Structure 1
Amino acid sequence: KVRSFCSLAAEQGYGWAWLDTCCIDKASRAELSEAINSMYAWYKAADVCYVYLFDLDDGDHPFDKDSQFRASEWHSRAWTLQELLAPTDVVFLAKSWALIGRLAVLAPVLAEICGRDRTILRGYSAWKRKQQTSVAQRMSCAARRKTKRQEDRALLVMGIFGVSIPNVYGEGLERACLWLYVAGGDEPLRRSDYLRVGPD
């Protein structure tokens, strides 16, 4: 995976590439905390984000109702939400590294999958202009995602709100959401909206 990713980046003319599975030292608490707080900004600053879907075969048609793309595990994982919302360009690849499509084209089907209006996904203008999307709208995208640790439900939306919160592992979901609520800055704050990030 690492070799294929680096080869693809080099073919596209990039001299530098960052891969989340190997570029974070999770044994270092300080580095992990920095990565969690910075990841959204890193994705946002990237020229392109390559999304490798290990569970997609070549020739899959994402717009088909029974497509492998719609059923991909990627859509339910928590930390992939940033990969979807932060970058200016997202390229989806099958397990053979064949091109599946770009976000600009796949926005309608992605909106169906994550349950959001396609305008939120296409062009990111609604996400960048926070006043056009409520706290509850943005939280609802995170609420459906699966996490290994309950606090991740709060941590994964920090970048969406443009805030940072401490490493809250071990404090539980509600307390992590309260950290997010307190850090909300100029957002129209309602505690119930922030707790919406929890499971239904």
Structure 2
Amino acid sequence: MFQWYQNAEKCYVFLSDVSASMTDAQLHQSAWETSLRKSRWFTRGWTLQELLAPASVEFFSSERQRLGDKDSLERQISDITRIPVAALRGDPLDEFSVSERKGWMAGRQTTQEEDMAYSLIGIFGVSMEFRYGEGKERALERLQEEMDKGVRYAAFRLKK
């Protein structure tokens, strides 16, 4: 999914819990910015990759009013998610530490406990099979194993 979002020309986010019923969203930004900060979208696990992977993301209110895009809202998004602006702007994710990237999941929730690990697959540039029923801890262990394999492979390529 991460690569699919990465290849998208533009992604759209409908924030059903953010109201901006004013005629001019820019003039009345403070009115909807408070509800933006509380939006459930920023607490769901899978939306992390929807935020980071695409170059262009546009946000819309429950009234389908454009609130802005990832660029114009980067300060608010960074404050809400604790994701550095550089990551939001598309800097390579491997430039951020493993613990920092894992930290971007803090406060996020998933329906299936394994999805806490599965939604990080693209963030760490690994591929692994989904095994629902294995539990969150085992899924996170397998994610770490795949990350370790990637590091070993990169080290092997450097030696050549």
Range class of TM-score, shorter chain: 0.7 to 0.9
| CA–CA separation in structure 2 for the residues paired with 1:136 and 1:84 | 19
Superposed CA offset, 1:82-104 (max 9, x none): 11000010000011211000100
Q: Residue 99 of structure 2 corresponds to which residue in structure 1?
A: 136
Q: Residue 153 of structure 1 corresponds to which residue in structure 2?
A: 116
| C-alpha contact 2:126 2:150 (8 A) present in aligned 1 | no
Aligned residue identity for 2:85: R
User: SS in structure 2 opposite 1:186?
Assistant: helix
Q: Residue 124 of structure 1 corresponds to which residue in structure 2?
A: 90
| C-alpha contact 1:49 1:90 (8 A) present in aligned 2 | yes
**2:41 maps to 1:106:** no
CA gap 1:63/1:115 in 2 versus in 1, 3 angstroms: farther
- After TM superposition, the runs of 4+ consecutive aligned structure 1 residues lying more than 6 A away are none
Aligned residue identity for 1:47: E
User: SS in structure 2 opposite 1:183?
Assistant: helix
| CA–CA separation in structure 2 for the residues paired with 1:176 and 1:87 | 25
| CA–CA separation in structure 2 for the residues paired with 1:63 and 1:163 | 39
Aligned residue identity for 1:69: L
RMSD: 2.0
**2:36 maps to 1:73:** no
Q: Residue 13 of structure 2 corresponds to which residue in structure 1?
A: 51
TM-score by structure 1 length? 0.68
What is the percent sequence identity of the aligned residues?
A: 36
CA gap 1:97/1:64 in 2 versus in 1, 3 angstroms: closer
TM-score by structure 2 length? 0.83
| CA–CA separation in structure 2 for the residues paired with 1:64 and 1:163 | 40
User: SS in structure 2 opposite 1:105?
Assistant: coil
Query: Unmatched 5+ residue regions in structure 2?
Result: 153-160
**Quick one: which of 186, 196, 199 aligns to 2:150?**
186
How many equivalent residue pairs?
146
